Structure formats: C-alpha cells, structure tokens
Amino acid sequence: MAKRYYPLDANTLFGEGVTLTATGNVQKNGSDVVLKIGKGRQDMALVIDVTSYDATDGDELYTFLLQGADAANFSGSIENLAMLEIGPTAARTGGARTSPTGRYAIPVSNDLIDEFTYLRLRLIAGGTTPSITFSAWLSECP
C-alpha cells in the first residue's frame, strides 16, 4: 500500500481503535458518529487503518460503507458513497486476494445524485466469528 500522509482532523474522525464484531454504524458513547460536512461538493479521502481482523474460519467478511444523507438522523434518502471490502480470499467478492492489515484510502465525494450534508460509516460484518479493529476518518486528498 502507498505510504501517503492523510491529515487527521478531529472534526472528521469516525473513530480510533474501534473494534466491531457485528453489523452496525460506527459509534461513540452509544450514538452513531455523524459528520456534518455541509452543502457543496466536497472531495476527500476515506482513510481506514485496519490494525487487525479475524479471518480464522476463512469466511469472515467486512464491508465498510460510507453513507450520505440530507438529515442528521439519516431519515429519508441514504446513499452509499464508497465501499471497502476486507477479508480472506474465500470470502471476498472483490477477488482472489486476502486483504492485508494496514491503511486503505479511498477517494470519495459527497456529490452523488445529490450533495449530501451528513456522512456516517457503516460496517457490514459476516462470517463465523467476525471481529475487526480499525481507525477511520475523512481527509483532504493529497
């Protein structure tokens, strides 16, 4: 993976050292982390640092979805703006390559069909014993 610098701003942090074992939105203190980025097109990078994940059964799959909405409570229209799939070869639909731990950076925009004001990060976890630890944030594109 490329060794690029992606600045971290606390205002665009979804979470640091988060461990998830089931499908759900990234949360802090029991509430979904929702970032308000405002109207107008915003081009950025979704940065996900994966420090560990369980792949012992060979069927664990972790799909990150960056979702956009017009309302802070994500009522109404929700759009998937970016997707990242992590897991062993046998589980991945993305191809025959076991995903390494490390940094993943995906160029994204809040402008897809509409310009979305609010963003959240969702994980869809599957398999026998899913568990993944990561940090995630939005950064300026280098």
Per-residue pLDDT of the chain (142 residues; tens, 9 = 90+): 556 788 888 999 999 999 999 999 999 999 999 999 988 899 999 999 999 999 999 999 999 999 999 999 999 889 999 999 999 998 988 777 888 999 999 999 998 888 899 999 999 999 999 999 999 999 987 6
User: Residue 4 falls within a domain, yes or no?
Assistant: no
* Element holding 19 (H helix, E strand): strand 13-20
88 close to 98: Cβ distance less than 8 angstroms: yes
39 assigned to some structural domain: yes
Could you tell me the CATH number of the domain that includes residue 42? 2.60.120.1110
Q: What angle do CA 90, 121, 84 make, to 5 degrees?
A: 30
Q: Total structural domains in the chain?
A: 1
| Structural domain for 61, as ranges | 13-139
7 vs 139: CA distance, rounded Å: 6
pTM over 0.95: no
Is residue 44 domain-resident? Answer: yes
In a domain, 3, yes or no: no
In a domain, 78, yes or no: yes
Establish if 6 belongs to a structural domain: no
